[in-house]
A and B are shown apart, each in its own frame.
Chain A
Amino acid sequence: MKRVGIPQGLFYYYYYPLWKVFFTFLGAEVVKSSPTSKKTVDIGVNLAVDEACFPIKVYYGHVSDLLKKDVDYIFVPRFISIETRSYICPKFMGLPDMIKAGIKELPEIIDMTVDLSRTDKGFKQEILKTGSFFTNNKKKIKEAYNYALEEYKRFGELVRQGYTRQEAIKVWEGEEVFLSEKADLNIGVLGHGYSLYDDFISMSIVKRLRDMGAKVHLPEHIKGEDIEKEAASLPKRVFWTLGRKMVGSAFYMDKNSDIDGIIYVACFGCGPDSLIGEVIERKVKKPFMLLTVDEHTGEGGIVTRLEAFCDMLIRRRKLSESNISCYG
């Protein structure tokens, strides 16, 4: 049985169920890299160029981790565009080439190109090309993809139920994840999924906020059309898919009276974040905090800022409650 390695980074958090089912259906064994750890980061930082953003460095670490797991292939897709007239980020467009240039003695790389910016014609070809690593039966490849798509939809439904993407993957794989219902504060948290839901990169921001008694609202919990509607209020359409989702979610949360404050988790060196964060910060009226994460691991700074933010929200609420006239 052929073993396909999937690095636990970047679009893993968005598409892992799809990929896993697709490859398994075609008779391959799917091997994940180990969850991000200090070691993954150290290796990644050494392999990648200094200026690359943190999630990319971590991804290098994950690919390198797979080398030890005796895999026949490593799946490193090239994401140009996942919807019409929008892009992800230049780094995703060059990812397989960057990996090949940066890591020696790689097994064969399956570098499927996903480009839906104009038509999906080429995409079908790419699926067949990817499947052809395992079988020549085109019908079976199509079947595998359709089946994978079903599972991907099921995963999408899980994501909408209040889980983070990482938790949703766990639930999808059959683990139980307990969500606490008790919540005093409602905080919207935004960020690129691959940094926000990687516990190491984001230093478990979502978990920490929950422990502080906050209910965390994520872009995944908002309806797609609501996000698009809010994002369309900008004079120019944001041409980064994830960036536009964040702008839309931020505006939606800003209008939603349930939400007390918004936290944006940005990555040091992330191009879209540097402009999107600015656009959101200038438009949003609610308490807003931008947290930048990178490879430094001092948790104290993050914890202090999260606590201060929550304290501020609670004080602010008391203040506005005491403003209500006692005489009715």
Chain B
Amino acid sequence: MKVTFPAMGNTRIAIKALLEGLRLEVIPPPPITKKTIELGVKYSPEFACMPLKINVGNFIEAIEKGADTIVMAGGWGPCRFGYYAQVEREILKDLGYDFKMVILEAPDFKLSELFTQIRDLAENVSFLEALKAVKFAWDKLKAVEVMEKDLEYYLPRVKEKDKAESIYDYALESIDKAYSKKKIDNILAEARNAFCNLDFHGENILKIGLLGEIYTILEPAANYDIVRHLGRLNAEVCRAVYTSSWINDHLLGGILGKSNHKHIVQCAHAYLGSWVGGHGQETVGCAVDFARRGYDGIIQIGPLTCMPEIVAQSVLNRVKGEENIPCITLYFDEHAGTAGISTRLEAFVDMLGRKKEREGTKVPVEIFG
């Protein structure tokens, strides 16, 4: 059994570690390239959202590299993601591929059932080994997120952006290869050290909250690498979504430490009175939260036609007026012209910068309408 899985940013490192820990032969999806997206777009429904198209591209490339089993997550709506696996299986079958699809989902999502499904996948490991694999994957996930946060912090502050990026890239590669917790800790310490030794420019930094749909936030190939883009414009990005906190909030019910999920939902409540599937309500809540914590601006991102994000976007119009925070929404699809996105990001950052310079005199919110 050669297992593959859908790519979602750096979570691939953790998922790979988990599956390998379960003594499965893993064929990780090849890095997402233009070709991956082209393949996905060619065979997916025209109006499906971007993650589905990238998934299909991932799977085709992985199957061609020899994978015969796909591990995919499911769900019960109302977001389209819950039906992804079904449609993807039909598409790949009609293309003539021979494979098995394991869908991790339960009628009412309970952690115990997820464990049973993982156990079925890994028949020949003991419970202790499985637990170890989960623990190690979790360690890697946390390490990856430390690196991501470091990059978000240092990239806007240093003079040598290229060097900061190569430190980050090298560290991620090393984490992927690492086989012990100790090794991971060493990598993190070294990377932190290297970041600190870079030259800092000492200028003012803008703080921007990045919120929206989880896949688009986590997968650089689906968001034109927006974190680095903003970092190079001397803007520090704070993301609303991290995989580990998502798992803690949604799968574990917050048992792994304090979660601010309740607070976020409370923030959203005055603007959006119901959950709307996906990350819609969290997006609104985080926007309110960022505004109250004094961020300079917020950027909402999501795949084109994403239903929960459209609801959130409609409501954000009110949030930006009442909480007085500039906000733009960017939707991404397979269209590959980066210039349009760059121009809009630069304009937004310039505007925030000017607003900050004239401290006290507020820029009318209408400008960002």
Q: Which residues of A contact B (CB under 8 A)?
A: 48-49, 51-52, 78, 80, 85-91, 93-94, 96-98, 100-102, 111, 113, 234-236, 238-240, 266, 268-275, 277-279, 282, 292
Known A78-B274, A239-B77, A279-B86; further 14 A-B contacts with Cβ < 8 A:
A49-B329, A90-B278, A90-B310, A96-B273, A97-B311, A98-B315, A102-B314, A111-B273, A240-B77, A240-B78, A271-B306, A273-B47, A274-B47, A278-B90
Contact residue among B45, B83, B276, B331 (Cβ-Cβ distance under 8 Å from A90): B276
Determine whether the beta carbon of A239 is less than 8 Å from that of B45.
Answer: no
Interface positions of B from 253 to 271, Cβ below 8 Å from A: 271
Bound CA span A93–B277, Å: 9
Binding site secondary structure of chain A? mixed
Determine whether the beta carbon of B280 is less than 8 Å from that of A278.
Answer: no
**Is there a chain A Cβ closer than 8 Å to B76's Cβ?**
yes
**Is there a chain A Cβ closer than 8 Å to B94's Cβ?**
yes
- Knowing A49-B314, A88-B78 touch, does A93 contact B86 (C-beta < 8 A)? no
Determine whether the beta carbon of B45 is less than 8 Å from that of A87.
Answer: no
Determine whether the beta carbon of A278 is less than 8 Å from that of B78.
Answer: no
Determine whether the beta carbon of B275 is less than 8 Å from that of A93.
Answer: yes
- Knowing A101-B271, A274-B47, A278-B45 touch, does A89 contact B314 (C-beta < 8 A)? no
Q: Which 7 residue pairs of A and B lie closest in terms of their CB atoms, listed nearest first?
A: A87-B78, A94-B311, A101-B318, A239-B77, A274-B47, A278-B45, A98-B314
Contact residue among A101, A113, A238, A268 (Cβ-Cβ distance under 8 Å from B314): A101
Task: Report the minimum CB–CB distance from A218 to chain B (whole Å).
Answer: 23
Determine whether the beta carbon of B305 is less than 8 Å from that of A269.
Answer: yes
Bound CA span A273–B87, Å: 12
**Which A residues touch B271, using CB under 8 A?**
97, 101
Task: Report the minimum CB–CB distance from A293 to chain B (whole Å).
Answer: 12
Task: Report the minimum CB–CB distance from B317 to chain A (whole Å).
Answer: 5
Determine whether the beta carbon of A90 is less than 8 Å from that of B79.
Answer: yes
**Which A residues touch B364, using CB under 8 A?**
none
Determine whether the beta carbon of A93 is less than 8 Å from that of B94.
Answer: no
- Knowing A49-B310, A49-B313, A90-B280 touch, does A239 contact B76 (C-beta < 8 A)? yes
**Which B residues touch A96, using CB under 8 A?**
273
**Which B residues touch A94, using CB under 8 A?**
272, 274, 276, 280, 311-312, 314-315
Which residue on chain A has the smallest CB distance to residue B108?
A85
- Knowing A87-B77, A93-B78 touch, does A98 contact B311 (C-beta < 8 A)? yes
Determine whether the beta carbon of B315 is less than 8 Å from that of A90.
Answer: no
**Is there a chain A Cβ closer than 8 Å to B66's Cβ?**
no
Determine whether the beta carbon of A90 is less than 8 Å from that of B308.
Answer: yes
**Which B residues touch A279, using CB under 8 A?**
86-87, 90
Determine whether the beta carbon of A278 is less than 8 Å from that of B48.
Answer: yes
Q: Which residues of B contact A (CB under 8 A)?
A: 45-49, 74, 76-80, 82-83, 85-87, 90-91, 94, 271-278, 280, 304-308, 310-318, 329, 331
Name 26 interchain pairs, CB-CB below 8 A, sorted by A: A49-B310, A49-B313, A49-B314, A49-B329, A51-B310, A78-B274, A90-B78, A90-B308, A90-B310, A90-B311, A93-B275, A97-B271, A97-B273, A97-B311, A97-B315, A98-B311, A100-B318, A239-B78, A269-B47, A270-B47, A273-B47, A274-B46, A275-B87, A277-B45, A278-B48, A279-B87
- Knowing A93-B277, A239-B76 touch, does A282 contact B305 (C-beta < 8 A)? no
**Which A residues touch B280, using CB under 8 A?**
90, 94
Q: How many A-B residue pairs have CB under 8 A?
A: 126
Which residue on chain A has the smallest CB distance to residue B79?
A90
Determine whether the beta carbon of B78 is less than 8 Å from that of A113.
Answer: no
**Which B residues touch A236, using CB under 8 A?**
74, 83, 85-86
Which residue on chain B has the smallest CB distance to residue A115?
B274
Bound CA span A56–B98, Å: 41
**Which A residues touch B317, using CB under 8 A?**
49, 101-102
Which residue on chain A has the smallest CB distance to residue B321?
A101
Task: Report the minimum CB–CB distance from B113 to chain A (whole Å).
Answer: 16
Bound CA span A145–B325, Å: 44
- Knowing A49-B314, A90-B277, A101-B271 touch, does A235 contact B86 (C-beta < 8 A)? yes
Determine whether the beta carbon of A51 is less than 8 Å from that of B86.
Answer: no
Task: Report the minimum CB–CB distance from A78 to chain B (whole Å).
Answer: 6
Determine whether the beta carbon of B87 is less than 8 Å from that of A93.
Answer: no
- Knowing A235-B86, A239-B83, A275-B83 touch, does A93 contact B274 (C-beta < 8 A)? yes
Which residue on chain B has the smallest CB distance to residue A235?
B86
**Which A residues touch B305, using CB under 8 A?**
51, 269-271, 274
Task: Report the minimum CB–CB distance from A54 to chain B (whole Å).
Answer: 12
Bound CA span A288–B99, Å: 29
Bound CA span A186–B276, Å: 39
Bound CA span A275–B86, Å: 10
Bound CA span A240–B273, Å: 21
- Knowing A93-B276, A100-B318 touch, does A275 contact B45 (C-beta < 8 A)? yes
Bound CA span A239–B85, Å: 14
Task: Report the minimum CB–CB distance from B325 to chain A (whole Å).
Answer: 15
Task: Report the minimum CB–CB distance from A97 to chain B (whole Å).
Answer: 5
Which residue on chain B has the smallest CB distance to residue A274?
B47
Bound CA span A78–B85, Å: 29
Task: Report the minimum CB–CB distance from B40 to chain A (whole Å).
Answer: 13
Task: Report the minimum CB–CB distance from A183 to chain B (whole Å).
Answer: 32
Bound CA span A179–B244, Å: 60
Q: Among A49, A87, A90, A279, which residue has the most Cβ atoms of chain B within 10 A? A: A90
**Which A residues touch B45, using CB under 8 A?**
274-275, 277-278
Task: Report the minimum CB–CB distance from B182 to chain A (whole Å).
Answer: 43
Task: Report the minimum CB–CB distance from A67 to chain B (whole Å).
Answer: 18
Which residue on chain A has the smallest CB distance to residue B77?
A239
**Which B residues touch A240, using CB under 8 A?**
77-78
Which residue on chain A has the smallest CB distance to residue B313?
A49
Bound CA span A277–B313, Å: 26
Bound CA span A272–B78, Å: 9
Task: Report the minimum CB–CB distance from B245 to chain A (whole Å).
Answer: 22
**Which B residues touch A102, using CB under 8 A?**
314, 317
**Which A residues touch B94, using CB under 8 A?**
282
Determine whether the beta carbon of B90 is less than 8 Å from that of A282.
Answer: yes
**Which B residues touch A51, using CB under 8 A?**
304-305, 310, 313, 331
Bound CA span A80–B87, Å: 24
